[in-house]
Structure 1
Amino acid sequence: MLQHRYIQIPQTFWTRGHIAVLSDAAVAMFLALLCENGGLGEEVPLWFSPRDVEGRFALSEDTRSKGLRELGKAGLVTAKRRPVNETDFQAEALYMRNVHFLRMERLSETAAITPRRRVVRVPKSS
Protein backbone atom coordinates (compact mmCIF):
# COMPACT_ATOMS: atom_id res chain seq x y z
CA MET A 1 0.00 0.00 0.00
CA LEU A 2 1.35 3.42 -0.96
CA GLN A 3 1.59 5.67 2.06
CA HIS A 4 1.77 9.43 1.82
CA ARG A 5 4.39 10.93 4.10
CA TYR A 6 4.02 14.61 4.68
CA ILE A 7 6.50 16.56 6.73
CA GLN A 8 6.22 20.01 8.19
CA ILE A 9 9.23 22.22 7.63
CA PRO A 10 9.69 24.75 10.41
CA GLN A 11 8.98 28.33 9.38
CA THR A 12 12.34 29.41 10.78
CA PHE A 13 14.06 27.38 8.07
CA TRP A 14 13.10 30.26 5.76
CA THR A 15 12.69 33.22 8.10
CA ARG A 16 16.11 32.78 9.76
CA GLY A 17 17.90 32.42 6.42
CA HIS A 18 18.91 28.74 6.49
CA ILE A 19 17.47 28.11 3.04
CA ALA A 20 19.65 30.94 1.69
CA VAL A 21 22.98 29.83 3.13
CA LEU A 22 22.81 26.03 2.81
CA SER A 23 23.90 24.33 -0.38
CA ASP A 24 21.55 22.18 -2.42
CA ALA A 25 23.14 19.04 -0.95
CA ALA A 26 22.61 20.27 2.63
CA VAL A 27 18.98 21.19 1.97
CA ALA A 28 18.35 17.80 0.33
CA MET A 29 19.87 15.93 3.28
CA PHE A 30 18.03 18.12 5.79
CA LEU A 31 14.74 17.23 4.10
CA ALA A 32 15.67 13.53 3.96
CA LEU A 33 16.55 13.52 7.68
CA LEU A 34 13.40 15.45 8.52
CA CYS A 35 11.37 12.88 6.58
CA GLU A 36 13.12 10.01 8.39
CA ASN A 37 12.56 11.69 11.75
CA GLY A 38 8.83 11.92 11.08
CA GLY A 39 8.27 14.39 13.92
CA LEU A 40 9.51 11.93 16.53
CA GLY A 41 11.75 14.45 18.27
CA GLU A 42 15.38 15.43 18.23
CA GLU A 43 16.82 12.54 20.19
CA VAL A 44 15.87 9.94 17.60
CA PRO A 45 19.01 8.46 16.01
CA LEU A 46 18.74 8.59 12.23
CA TRP A 47 20.65 6.32 9.93
CA PHE A 48 20.25 4.94 6.45
CA SER A 49 22.70 3.36 4.11
CA PRO A 50 23.96 5.16 1.01
CA ARG A 51 21.89 2.68 -1.02
CA ASP A 52 18.74 3.63 0.92
CA VAL A 53 19.38 7.34 0.33
CA GLU A 54 19.83 6.72 -3.37
CA GLY A 55 16.78 4.46 -3.63
CA ARG A 56 14.36 6.48 -1.50
CA PHE A 57 15.48 10.03 -2.18
CA ALA A 58 17.51 9.70 -5.43
CA LEU A 59 20.57 11.28 -3.78
CA SER A 60 24.10 10.20 -4.62
CA GLU A 61 26.73 9.25 -2.05
CA ASP A 62 28.55 12.52 -2.80
CA THR A 63 25.40 14.55 -2.12
CA ARG A 64 24.75 12.57 1.06
CA SER A 65 28.24 13.05 2.49
CA LYS A 66 28.56 16.70 1.42
CA GLY A 67 25.11 17.53 2.80
CA LEU A 68 25.72 15.82 6.15
CA ARG A 69 29.13 17.48 6.50
CA GLU A 70 27.66 20.93 5.84
CA LEU A 71 24.70 20.35 8.18
CA GLY A 72 27.17 19.36 10.87
CA LYS A 73 29.18 22.55 10.37
CA ALA A 74 25.94 24.57 10.57
CA GLY A 75 25.05 22.82 13.83
CA LEU A 76 21.78 21.44 12.46
CA VAL A 77 22.93 17.82 12.75
CA THR A 78 25.23 16.03 15.15
CA ALA A 79 26.73 12.60 14.53
CA LYS A 80 27.64 9.90 17.02
CA ARG A 81 29.27 6.51 16.55
CA ARG A 82 27.04 3.60 17.50
CA PRO A 83 27.42 -0.17 17.12
CA VAL A 84 25.47 -1.64 14.23
CA ASN A 85 23.83 -4.10 16.61
CA GLU A 86 23.22 -2.23 19.85
CA THR A 87 22.08 -5.39 21.64
CA ASP A 88 25.54 -6.93 21.23
CA PHE A 89 27.23 -7.54 24.57
CA GLN A 90 30.74 -7.56 23.16
CA ALA A 91 33.16 -5.32 24.99
CA GLU A 92 34.18 -3.73 21.73
CA ALA A 93 31.71 -3.61 18.85
CA LEU A 94 33.17 -4.82 15.59
CA TYR A 95 30.95 -2.78 13.32
CA MET A 96 30.21 0.86 13.99
CA ARG A 97 28.18 3.43 12.07
CA ASN A 98 27.45 7.12 12.34
CA VAL A 99 23.93 7.98 13.46
CA HIS A 100 22.66 11.50 13.06
CA PHE A 101 20.53 13.66 15.33
CA LEU A 102 18.61 16.69 14.10
CA ARG A 103 19.13 19.83 16.15
CA MET A 104 15.93 21.69 15.33
CA GLU A 105 16.51 24.31 18.04
CA ARG A 106 19.34 25.68 15.88
CA LEU A 107 16.77 26.79 13.30
CA SER A 108 15.68 29.57 15.65
CA GLU A 109 19.15 31.14 15.33
CA THR A 110 19.90 33.36 12.36
CA ALA A 111 21.91 31.48 9.76
CA ALA A 112 25.37 32.85 9.12
CA ILE A 113 27.25 32.80 5.89
CA THR A 114 30.65 31.33 6.53
CA PRO A 115 33.23 32.67 4.14
CA ARG A 116 34.70 30.03 1.93
CA ARG A 117 38.43 30.05 1.64
CA ARG A 118 39.31 30.92 -1.88
CA VAL A 119 42.74 30.35 -3.26
CA VAL A 120 43.73 32.36 -6.27
CA ARG A 121 46.85 31.21 -7.97
CA VAL A 122 48.87 33.78 -9.83
CA PRO A 123 51.02 32.33 -12.56
CA LYS A 124 54.71 33.00 -12.18
CA SER A 125 55.98 35.51 -14.65
CA SER A 126 58.66 34.26 -17.01
Structure 2
Amino acid sequence: MSAIPSTDYVLGSKKSRQRYIKLNTRLWTRGHIQSMSAKALAMLLVILEEQYGQDQAVWFSEKRFAERFNLSRDTRSEGARELFQRELIVIRRVPVTNSGAAFEREANRNTYQVIGDAIPSDWDNGRGDPLRTQLKANVKRRRSKR
Protein backbone atom coordinates (compact mmCIF):
# COMPACT_ATOMS: atom_id res chain seq x y z
CA MET A 1 0.00 0.00 0.00
CA SER A 2 1.47 3.37 -0.99
CA ALA A 3 1.60 6.38 1.29
CA ILE A 4 -0.90 9.19 0.96
CA PRO A 5 0.82 11.98 -1.02
CA SER A 6 0.51 14.51 1.83
CA THR A 7 2.44 12.18 4.13
CA ASP A 8 5.35 11.95 1.69
CA TYR A 9 6.51 15.45 2.64
CA VAL A 10 8.98 15.62 5.50
CA LEU A 11 9.65 19.04 7.02
CA GLY A 12 13.21 20.13 6.22
CA SER A 13 13.76 17.33 3.74
CA LYS A 14 16.38 18.29 1.16
CA LYS A 15 14.50 16.27 -1.44
CA SER A 16 11.32 18.27 -1.04
CA ARG A 17 10.85 21.55 -2.82
CA GLN A 18 9.02 24.46 -1.24
CA ARG A 19 5.34 23.75 -1.81
CA TYR A 20 3.96 27.27 -1.42
CA ILE A 21 4.22 30.41 -3.52
CA LYS A 22 3.93 33.82 -1.92
CA LEU A 23 1.77 36.30 -3.79
CA ASN A 24 2.12 40.04 -3.53
CA THR A 25 -0.72 41.65 -1.55
CA ARG A 26 -0.94 44.33 -4.26
CA LEU A 27 -2.65 41.70 -6.44
CA TRP A 28 -5.61 42.02 -4.03
CA THR A 29 -5.37 45.65 -2.97
CA ARG A 30 -5.22 46.85 -6.58
CA GLY A 31 -8.05 44.58 -7.72
CA HIS A 32 -6.17 42.20 -10.02
CA ILE A 33 -7.20 38.93 -8.35
CA GLN A 34 -10.84 39.97 -8.09
CA SER A 35 -11.16 40.81 -11.78
CA MET A 36 -8.76 38.49 -13.62
CA SER A 37 -9.96 35.44 -15.49
CA ALA A 38 -9.26 31.90 -14.35
CA LYS A 39 -6.91 31.50 -17.35
CA ALA A 40 -4.87 34.52 -16.28
CA LEU A 41 -4.71 33.31 -12.68
CA ALA A 42 -3.59 29.85 -13.81
CA MET A 43 -0.82 31.33 -15.97
CA LEU A 44 0.27 33.70 -13.19
CA LEU A 45 0.67 30.77 -10.80
CA VAL A 46 2.54 28.73 -13.43
CA ILE A 47 4.96 31.57 -14.25
CA LEU A 48 5.54 32.40 -10.58
CA GLU A 49 6.19 28.75 -9.75
CA GLU A 50 8.69 28.40 -12.60
CA GLN A 51 10.41 31.73 -12.03
CA TYR A 52 10.30 31.73 -8.23
CA GLY A 53 13.36 33.31 -6.67
CA GLN A 54 15.09 33.87 -10.01
CA ASP A 55 15.36 37.20 -11.76
CA GLN A 56 15.11 35.74 -15.25
CA ALA A 57 12.43 34.97 -17.77
CA VAL A 58 11.05 31.46 -18.17
CA TRP A 59 9.87 29.59 -21.25
CA PHE A 60 7.92 26.40 -21.89
CA SER A 61 7.99 23.84 -24.66
CA GLU A 62 4.50 22.91 -25.87
CA LYS A 63 4.91 19.27 -24.87
CA ARG A 64 6.39 19.83 -21.41
CA PHE A 65 3.88 22.57 -20.60
CA ALA A 66 0.95 20.27 -21.34
CA GLU A 67 2.52 17.35 -19.46
CA ARG A 68 3.54 19.33 -16.41
CA PHE A 69 0.62 21.70 -15.91
CA ASN A 70 -2.21 20.00 -17.84
CA LEU A 71 -3.42 23.35 -19.20
CA SER A 72 -4.59 23.89 -22.77
CA ARG A 73 -2.83 25.98 -25.38
CA ASP A 74 -5.75 28.46 -25.22
CA THR A 75 -5.35 28.83 -21.46
CA ARG A 76 -1.67 29.49 -21.93
CA SER A 77 -2.05 32.10 -24.68
CA GLU A 78 -5.19 33.88 -23.42
CA GLY A 79 -4.00 33.90 -19.81
CA ALA A 80 -0.59 35.28 -20.76
CA ARG A 81 -2.19 37.91 -23.00
CA GLU A 82 -4.39 39.13 -20.14
CA LEU A 83 -1.44 39.25 -17.72
CA PHE A 84 0.51 41.27 -20.28
CA GLN A 85 -2.38 43.71 -20.72
CA ARG A 86 -2.55 44.13 -16.95
CA GLU A 87 1.22 44.85 -16.89
CA LEU A 88 1.85 41.85 -14.64
CA ILE A 89 4.21 40.04 -17.03
CA VAL A 90 6.53 40.81 -19.92
CA ILE A 91 6.43 38.54 -22.96
CA ARG A 92 9.48 38.52 -25.20
CA ARG A 93 10.08 36.68 -28.48
CA VAL A 94 13.55 35.15 -28.30
CA PRO A 95 15.31 33.37 -31.19
CA VAL A 96 15.98 29.69 -30.53
CA THR A 97 18.38 28.91 -33.36
CA ASN A 98 21.56 30.86 -33.68
CA SER A 99 23.80 28.90 -36.03
CA GLY A 100 23.86 31.59 -38.72
CA ALA A 101 23.21 29.19 -41.60
CA ALA A 102 21.91 31.01 -44.67
CA PHE A 103 18.73 29.00 -45.18
CA GLU A 104 18.02 28.11 -41.59
CA ARG A 105 14.42 28.64 -40.56
CA GLU A 106 14.36 31.16 -37.75
CA ALA A 107 12.54 29.75 -34.75
CA ASN A 108 11.40 31.87 -31.83
CA ARG A 109 9.87 31.16 -28.47
CA ASN A 110 8.03 33.28 -25.96
CA THR A 111 9.62 33.97 -22.62
CA TYR A 112 7.64 35.20 -19.64
CA GLN A 113 8.72 37.29 -16.65
CA VAL A 114 6.60 38.71 -13.84
CA ILE A 115 6.74 42.46 -13.26
CA GLY A 116 5.00 45.13 -11.19
CA ASP A 117 2.29 44.04 -8.81
CA ALA A 118 2.93 40.36 -9.63
CA ILE A 119 6.44 40.37 -8.15
CA PRO A 120 6.19 38.69 -4.75
CA SER A 121 7.13 41.11 -1.98
CA ASP A 122 9.93 38.83 -0.77
CA TRP A 123 11.62 39.20 -4.20
CA ASP A 124 11.36 42.97 -4.23
CA ASN A 125 13.39 43.80 -1.08
CA GLY A 126 12.64 47.48 -1.55
CA ARG A 127 14.52 47.67 -4.86
CA GLY A 128 11.45 48.60 -6.84
CA ASP A 129 10.83 46.99 -10.19
CA PRO A 130 13.70 47.82 -12.55
CA LEU A 131 12.14 45.98 -15.48
CA ARG A 132 8.89 47.96 -15.20
CA THR A 133 10.87 51.22 -14.90
CA GLN A 134 12.78 50.30 -18.06
CA LEU A 135 9.55 49.43 -19.93
CA LYS A 136 7.95 52.76 -18.97
CA ALA A 137 11.06 54.60 -20.20
CA ASN A 138 10.86 52.71 -23.52
CA VAL A 139 7.18 53.64 -23.92
CA LYS A 140 7.95 57.32 -23.20
CA ARG A 141 10.78 57.28 -25.76
CA ARG A 142 8.49 55.76 -28.43
CA ARG A 143 5.77 58.33 -27.75
CA SER A 144 8.22 61.23 -27.93
CA LYS A 145 9.41 60.06 -31.37
CA ARG A 146 5.88 60.38 -32.81
TM-score by length of structure 1 reads: 0.69
Deviations 1:60-83 (A, max 9, x none): 111111101111111111211111
Unaligned ranges ≥5, structure 2: 1-14, 120-146
Q: How does 1:90-101 map to 2 (within 5 A)?
A: 90=100, 94-101=106-113
Deviations 1:68-102 (A, max 9, x none): 111111111121111114xx352887211111221
Q: Residue 95 of structure 2 corresponds to which residue in structure 1?
A: 83
- Local SS of the residue matching 2:112: strand
Structure 2 letter corresponding to 1:48: F
CA distance in 1 between partners of 2:118 and 2:23 (Å)? 10
Q: CA RMSD in A?
A: 2.3
Unaligned ranges ≥5, structure 1: 109-126
Determine which structure has the larger helix proportion and give its number: 2
Structure 1 letter corresponding to 2:69: F
Q: How does 1:27-106 map to 2 (within 5 A)?
A: 27-41=41-55, 44-85=56-97, 88-90=98-100, 94-103=106-115, 105-106=116-117
What's the CA shift for 1:37?
0.5
Equivalent pair of 1:78/1:102 in contact (CA under 8 Å): yes
**How many correspondences in the alignment?**
103
Deviations 1:98-122 (A, max 9, x none): 112211x2459xxxxxxxxxxxxxx
- Local SS of the residue matching 2:94: strand
